[in-house]
Amino acid sequence: MQKGSLVNQQVRACNFNDFYYFKGIFTDEIIEKTHAMVYDNGYKFSKGGTGYADAGGVIDHDNSNNRDIAYIPWVEHSHFIYELLEQCVIEANNVLFQFDINMMTDLLHYVIYPTPNQPDTLGQVREKGGHLDWHMDIGRGLVNKRKLATTVQLSHPDEYEGGDFQIWYGGEDGFITLPREKGDVLIFPTFYLHRVTPITKGERRALVYWTGGEPFR
């Protein structure tokens, strides 16, 4: 996909919580290619937490057991994903955030939020469906250079129940629930509190990607 063909939809939740939203950037063909790449290359899944112990603000201490993650390396057969995500981040940052960004801070995460009470990718049965409680993607140590978080919706909304991606912004309702259409890309600052509510049926798959630079001052 050419950079000029990116069709974006900028969404503002409120005065503070601005985020950037791309509609349907990941086509069905790209998503199927992504799934195949992960499984054909035998990328191993592991239990996922917040990425590092020092990531900020996690309330639910069971987070380390609620997602399955495979890490996608920067290699020739994965360039198509990294390059598309880079285009999205560059546009979002130039138009909205204007942060000092010059690096990819983590390997791309392929994430599965599993259904409760059924064996997951690791063969484990979990009473509570895949979720991630309120947290930030920035903190001390290795994650302090993260500035923008990017998430890609790989599942069709009819494939699961629960699993809502929500950003906290205070106010009367407290949070906003983001769209869940397959192929959509959401980019937001790493210091926003956000969560994924528990899956109650089916499973949700997503990509998560971070970019950054020198820590915020």
- Number of structural domains the chain divides into: 1
Asked whether residue 23 is domain-assigned, the answer is no
Cα–Cα dist 35/206, whole Å: 10
Q: Which domain holds residue 85?
A: 33-211
Q: Which of 88, 196, 213 is nearest to 133 (CA)?
A: 196
Asked whether residue 24 is domain-assigned, the answer is no
User: Tell me, what CATH number does 185's domain have?
Assistant: 2.60.120.620
pLDDT of residue 65: 53
Asked whether residue 6 is domain-assigned, the answer is no
Measured in degrees and rounded to the nearest 5, phi and psi for residue 161 equal -125, 150
Beta pairing class for 185-189 and 45-48:
unpaired
pLDDT in tens, 14-64: 333 478 999 999 999 999 999 999 999 999 999 876 544 444 544 444 554
In this prediction the pTM is 0.87
Share of the chain above pLDDT 70, in %: 83
Asked whether residue 167 is domain-assigned, the answer is yes
Asked whether residue 44 is domain-assigned, the answer is yes
pLDDT of residue 53: 41
Asked whether residue 217 is domain-assigned, the answer is no
Look at 121 and 155; give whichever has higher pLDDT: 155
pLDDT in tens, 177-211: 988 999 999 999 999 999 999 999 999 999 999 99
Asked whether residue 135 is domain-assigned, the answer is yes
Q: Cα–Cα–Cα angle for 181, 112, 128, nearest 5°?
A: 105
Question: What rounded mean pLDDT belongs to the chain?
Answer: 85
